[in-house]
């Protein structure tokens, strides 16, 4: 199969090469997929994307016009792909459902600890030989209440890690609550209860129409004063303008973000100092109780290996599948559970 891999980062190439073992005719480009670059895919059977590529309806139509039949994304999330249009056009979609939940879960906990123990500020002070401690007081994680929104693959690993710290866990997941039982350490609750009772809130639900701006002003108002809010899922889960206001009001005491609502075009590359900056992001980062990483929670050796392997496997499966088998997969495209759980569509 001939595949064009958009938004390829230098560090990914060796993983893709190793996984491919010369099976497919791959072309890589650092360019992102968008309306301007879709025509580059002329002559390719498949395109391979990453999270900030634009596979909205118009872009998919353009890909279809130039003959692309398959779109494989090197991510868990599929919120950048218009699945309805893909289905109408008969374009098959695949993602990498579970490449390393540990990578994202461990980064989530790293953000919690770095914020709590003020590691970034402490390191800067140490380098300046400022060893006075008064601005560095943290809190014990032990016995703190952590609210987990979305107890899927990643949320589940976060829960396991936090159990080790002796945290009390409150979980809100509107799909799994019916068949999971609460335990002494982990209780399933409604969203409002989680928001009101948690010292730390961490988001692990996918971005869908239902979860867009899940945390906005009314939800922020329910939270404890000085709450810690962590988002390693998708930026769109937070209403970032409302979050900024809650930081100004000191409602949010700590904010850890690996994702940002308007990150497309900003994250995954270096910018010249003279380039215009994103005002909202800059305003957020001006707070010293805000820690931002640029969508790197997935970035471990293990995850990159699994992403490359599963992406090549997706291409293999398409190449081997009979038209009937492909149609069976398309038939599942509008199944909500399949969309939510990011299965091969």
**Interface positions with ligand NAI (CB under 6 A):** 76-77, 98, 101, 104, 149-155, 172-176, 204-207, 210-211, 232-234, 258-259, 295, 297-298, 340-342
- Reported as type and span, the H/E element at residue 244 is helix 240-248
Interior/surface letters 234-270, b for 16+ CB within 10 angstroms, e for the rest: bbbbbbbebbbebbeeebbbbbbbbbbbebbebbbee
d(CA 109, CA 160): 11
d(CA 154, CA 124): 31
Is 275 labeled as catalytic in the residue annotation? no
> ∠ CA(233), CA(148), CA(51), 5° rounding?
10
As measured in angstroms, the least distance from the Cβ of 286 to ligand NAI is 23
d(CA 200, CA 194): 10
Nearer to ligand NAI by Cβ, of 106 and 245: the residue is 106
- Reported as type and span, the H/E element at residue 247 is helix 240-248
Is the alpha carbon torsion for 280, 213, 32, 20 positive or negative?
positive
Answer whether 23's CB lies under 8 Å from 312's CB. yes
Nearer to ligand NAI by Cβ, of 33 and 297: the residue is 297
Nearer to ligand NAI by Cβ, of 280 and 340: the residue is 340
- Active-site position among 295, 319, 332, 341: 295
Is 263 labeled as catalytic in the residue annotation? yes
As measured in angstroms, the least distance from the Cβ of 191 to ligand NAI is 7
**Which residues, other chains included, contact 313 with Cβ-Cβ below 8 Å and sequence gap of 6+?**
none
d(CA 273, CA 291): 20
Nearer to ligand NAI by Cβ, of 1 and 294: the residue is 294
As measured in angstroms, the least distance from the Cβ of 156 to ligand NAI is 7
CA-CA-CA-CA torsion for 272, 274, 276, 282, nearest 10 degrees?
A: 80
Q: How far from 287 is each of 217, 245, 284, CA to CA, in Å?
A: 19, 12, 6
Nearer to ligand NAI by Cβ, of 116 and 153: the residue is 153
Nearer to ligand NAI by Cβ, of 165 and 175: the residue is 175
Pairing status of strand 200-203 against strand 145-149: parallel
- Active-site position among 24, 80, 204, 234: 234
Nearer to ligand NAI by Cβ, of 41 and 345: the residue is 345
- Active-site position among 117, 263, 264, 271: 263
d(CA 233, CA 259): 7
As measured in angstroms, the least distance from the Cβ of 6 to ligand NAI is 18
Answer whether 100's CB lies under 8 Å from 298's CB. yes
As measured in angstroms, the least distance from the Cβ of 175 to ligand NAI is 3
Is 264 labeled as catalytic in the residue annotation? no
Beta pairing partners, 26 = 3
As measured in angstroms, the least distance from the Cβ of 337 to ligand NAI is 9
| Total length of the chain | 345
Q: Which residue is nearest to ligand NAI (CB)?
A: 152
As measured in angstroms, the least distance from the Cβ of 48 to ligand NAI is 16
Active-site residues, by number, are: 234, 263, 295
């Amino acid at each position: 199969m001939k595949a064009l891999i958009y938004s390829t980062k230098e560090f990914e190439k060796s993983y893709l090469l190793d996984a491919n073992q010369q099976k497919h005719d791959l072309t890589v480009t650092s360019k992102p997929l968008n309306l301007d670059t879709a025509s580059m895919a002329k002559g390719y059977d498949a395109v391979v994307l990453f999270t900030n590529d634009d596979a909205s309806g118009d872009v998919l139509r353009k890909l279809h016009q130039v003959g692309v039949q398959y779109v494989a994304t090197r991510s868990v999330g599929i919120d950048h792909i218009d699945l309805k249009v893909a289905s109408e056009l008969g374009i098959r979609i695949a993602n990498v459902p579970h490449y390393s939940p540990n990578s994202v879960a461990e980064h989530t906990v790293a953000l919690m600890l770095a914020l709590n123990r003020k590691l970034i500020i402490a390191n800067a002070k140490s380098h300046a030989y400022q060893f006075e401690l008064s601005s560095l007081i943290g809190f014990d994680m032990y016995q703190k209440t952590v609210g987990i929104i979305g107890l899927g693959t990643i949320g589940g690993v976060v829960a396991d890690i936090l159990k080790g710290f002796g945290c009390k866990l409150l979980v809100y997941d509107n799909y799994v609550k019916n068949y999971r039982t609460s335990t002494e350490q982990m209780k399933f609750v409604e969203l409002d209860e989680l928001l009101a009772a948690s010292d730390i809130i961490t988001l692990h639900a996918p971005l869908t129409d239902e979860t867009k701006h899940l945390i906005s002003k009314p939800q922020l108002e329910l939270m404890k004063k000085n709450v810690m809010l962590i988002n390693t899922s998708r930026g769109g889960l937070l209403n970032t303008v409302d979050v900024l206001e809650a930081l100004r009001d000191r409602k949010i005491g700590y904010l850890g973000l690996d994702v940002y609502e308007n990150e497309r075009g900003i994250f995954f590359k270096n910018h010249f100092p003279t380039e215009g900056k994103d005002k909202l992001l800059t305003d957020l980062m001006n707070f010293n109780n805000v820690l931002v990483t640029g969508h790197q929670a997935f970035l471990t050796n293990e995850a990159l290996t699994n992403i490359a392997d599963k992406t090549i496997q997706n291409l293999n499966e398409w190449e081997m599948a009979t038209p009937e088998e492909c149609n069976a997969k398309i038939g599942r495209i509008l199944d909500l559970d399949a969309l939510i759980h990011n299965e091969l569509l």
